């Protein structure tokens, strides 16, 4: 099970978009030299939980919110995994509202009957509450809406541009962070060397004083012996 080296994870409801919108979107990302991940890239036979790990490995997650997204248990798992630690992680997320209204996603969307959780994991009420919280977290992020564009092609073109912009921003942030860390390490090493140097000088000065004292005491002993003789 090797890492895919992808930058972007795409969460989607296959029945809604796989054969149309998604295929055009992935073509656009490929032409823009963006490494993306969809479930078809996984080796057959892998456990489905690998999809959640791929989210953790991503720099950016695109969640395509389409009409039947909430009917998929796996879409809900991907949604919750993406939003769970979004504030602490370096990952970014862009919600894509495809032929759905933002207000409906915020206020009306519920877990579909086909997406019931595993019995014993959580109650129906807990699941509804947790999914609602995940949707609220997601919709706080700046998203993109298909109804603002004339065609899917135009919409996809703008999505790809935004993805490139976000990835560039993430790379710049990482470079600045790496530079700061290098500077901090360098300053720490300088202070350590300076501390060690200062300690060595103090030890040398102490040793020199001791030698001078011994030399002085030795010369006095020799003088006393000379007088007694």
Residue 57 DSSP symbol: T
Residue 71 DSSP symbol: G
Burial label, 11 (beta-carbon count in 10 A; 0-12, 13-18, 19+): buried
Of 194, 86, 196, whose CA–CA distance to 133 is shortest? 86
Q: Is 78 a catalytic residue?
A: yes
Give the CA-trace dihedral at 56, 62, 68, 72, to 10 degrees: -10
Catalytic residue among 42, 57, 67, 78: 78
Q: For residues 110 and 209, what is the distance between their CA atoms, to the nearest angstrom?
A: 83
Contacts of residue 42, Cβ cutoff 8 Å, sequence gap at least 6: 50, 51, 54
Catalytic site positions: 78
């Amino acid at each position: 099970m090797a890492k895919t080296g992808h930058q972007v994870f795409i969460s989607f409801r296959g029945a809604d978009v796989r054969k149309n919108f998604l295929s055009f979107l992935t073509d656009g990302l490929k032409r823009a030299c963006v490494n993306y991940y969809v479930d078809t890239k996984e080796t057959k036979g892998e456990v489905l939980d690998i999809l959640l790990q791929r989210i953790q490995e991503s720099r950016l997650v695109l969640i395509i919110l389409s009409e039947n997204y909430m009917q998929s248990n796996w879409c809900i798992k991907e949604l919750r995994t993406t939003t769970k630690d979004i504030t602490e992680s370096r990952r970014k997320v862009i919600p894509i509202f495809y032929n759905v209204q933002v207000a409906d996603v915020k206020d009306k969307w519920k877990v579909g009957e086909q997406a019931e959780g595993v019995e014993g994991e959580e109650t129906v009420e807990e699941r509804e509450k947790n999914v609602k919280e995940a949707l609220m977290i997601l919709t706080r992020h700046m998203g993109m809406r298909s109804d603002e564009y004339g065609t899917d092609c135009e919409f996809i073109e703008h999505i790809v541009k935004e993805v490139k912009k976000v990835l560039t921003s993430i790379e710049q942030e990482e470079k600045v962070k790496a530079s700061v860390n290098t500077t901090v390490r360098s300053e720490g090493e300088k202070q350590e060397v300076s501390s060690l140097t200062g300690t060595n000088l103090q030890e040398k000065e102490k040793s020199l004083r001791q030698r001078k004292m011994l030399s002085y005491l030795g010369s006095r002993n020799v003088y006393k012996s000379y007088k007694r003789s």
